[in-house]
A = this chain, B = another copy of it.
């Protein structure tokens, strides 16, 4: 079992260093991204979509050139364990998802995904072994098409100085920066 260009063990080390711990979601995420990568025509330039905030975005960032900071990874908070790699211009791509219908005979993975037992009670080593054994068999794939222009990050454009905090911000956000307009996480 390999994950992208890594052996399973190498990927475990990479995940531990980046994410802080080896979570089942990162390992299934690795399988998802691995299968999506294998579905790409060779040399294709692609961007990524991830349908959950949890774990999976880190697998995409570690295994593809798509990151949050370079704008090539779009995260949608749908709570679904699914990722899509799509060609940058045509928008044609492959969506790979955790196929929960396949978990009937995978009790440990099923119990983890559907939170059937408290996290503290689960045998994490056994669960990770089961994920490795399952490999791509617990995943489904679909051909999809997106509108790449609709997913591209808006350009920041011209700057303005916020009359309240005095900091520079994108003028297109309005007459004040979004922090001063009520979005600030900082307590007074």
A contacts, CB < 8 Å to B? 18-21, 23, 25-26, 29, 49, 51, 53-59, 61, 65, 67-72, 74-80, 82, 84, 91, 95, 97, 100, 113-115, 144-147, 150-151, 153, 156, 158-159, 167-170, 173, 177-179, 183, 185-187
**What would 24 A/B residue contacts be, using CB atoms closer than 8 Å?**
A21-B70, A26-B69, A29-B69, A53-B69, A53-B71, A54-B71, A55-B70, A57-B67, A57-B68, A57-B69, A61-B61, A68-B68, A76-B178, A78-B183, A79-B156, A82-B167, A84-B185, A84-B186, A95-B186, A97-B167, A100-B167, A114-B168, A115-B156, A146-B185
Contact call B54/A69, Cβ cutoff below 8 A: yes
Q: Within the oligomer, what is the number of copies of this chain?
A: 2
Contact call B185/A20, Cβ cutoff below 8 A: no
Q: How many angstroms between the C-alpha atoms of A120 and B169 in the bound complex?
A: 23
Contact call A168/B76, Cβ cutoff below 8 A: no
Q: How many angstroms between the C-alpha atoms of A169 and B115 in the bound complex?
A: 13
Contact call A19/B70, Cβ cutoff below 8 A: yes
Q: Which residue of B lies closest to A73 (CB)?
A: B68
**Which interface residue of A57, A69, A77, A177 has the most chain B CB atoms within 10 A?**
A69
Q: How many angstroms between the C-alpha atoms of A154 and B68 in the bound complex?
A: 20
Contact call B65/A146, Cβ cutoff below 8 A: no
Q: Within 8 Å CB of A158, what residues of B?
A: 115
Q: How many angstroms between the C-alpha atoms of A114 and B161 in the bound complex?
A: 12
Tell me, rounded to whole Å, the shortest Cβ–Cβ distance linking A94 to chain B.
11
Q: How many angstroms between the C-alpha atoms of A59 and B68 in the bound complex?
A: 11
